[in-house]
């Protein structure tokens, strides 16, 4: 039984590898990133928000790519959003993001839902990742993805 499943899985992997090579699997995705200084926070009464314009966030990126957002923390490192940090065991601040074509909005909220102090000047890094060769292949061959899902389920790899 296991050898039959292994053969089926291999039968799926070889066409996938061929498809990746055929659609430019050796090419690197054109990842774009930029760092922004944010100081234009506006209040809603319970939270602060800031809008960031970034033309690299296109409709294709929203539909099939990815936008990753990181905020610089006190150590100087960048941590991925959403980000929650605790000032004590019962109080926290959360930074969230909403993306749209042409930009994003960052939200700064405290756990008590009372307006926190203005976040002041903050730095954010935005990474935009377009759809790669694998995603393009899956988009063009959805029936092959179903075979992979069936094999994953048979192998107990599906959650």
Give long-range contacts, CB 8 A cutoff, 24+ apart: 136-141.
136/23, 137/16, 137/19, 137/20, 137/23, 139/64, 140/23, 141/19
Of 41, 59, 42, 158, residue with least CA distance to 100? 59
What are the residues whose beta carbons fall under 8 Å from the beta carbon of 115, sequence distance 6 or more?
A: 43, 44, 45, 46, 47, 48
- The residue that leads in pLDDT, 15 or 155, is 155
Encode pLDDT of 117-158 as tens digits. Answer: 899 999 999 999 998 766 676 777 777 767 666 666 766 766
Task: Choose which CATH entry (1.10.3470, 2.60.40, 3.30.479, 1.25.40) describes domain 30-131.
Answer: 2.60.40
Judged against a pLDDT cut of 80, whether residue 90 lies above it is answered with: yes
Q: What is the mean pLDDT of the chain?
A: 80
Cα-to-chain-centroid distance, residue 114: 29
């Amino acid at each position: 039984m296991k050898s039959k499943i292994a053969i089926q899985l291999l039968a799926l992997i070889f066409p996938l590898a061929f498809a990746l090579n055929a659609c430019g699997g050796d090419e690197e995705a054109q990842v774009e990133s930029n760092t922004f200084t944010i100081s234009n926070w506006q209040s809603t009464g319970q939270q602060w928000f800031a809008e960031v314009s970034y033309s690299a966030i296109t409709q294709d990126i929203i539909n099939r790519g990815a936008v990753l957002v990181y905020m610089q923390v006190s150590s100087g490192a960048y941590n991925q959003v959403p980000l929650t940090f605790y000032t004590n065991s019962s109080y926290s601040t959360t930074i969230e993001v909403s993306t749209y074509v042409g930009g994003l909005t960052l939200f700064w909220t405290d756990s008590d839902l009372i307006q926190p102090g203005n976040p002041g000047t903050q730095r954010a890094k935005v990474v935009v990742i377009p759809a790669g060769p694998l995603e393009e292949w899956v988009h063009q061959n959805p029936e092959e993805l179903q075979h992979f899902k069936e094999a994953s389920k048979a192998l107990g790899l599906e959650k």
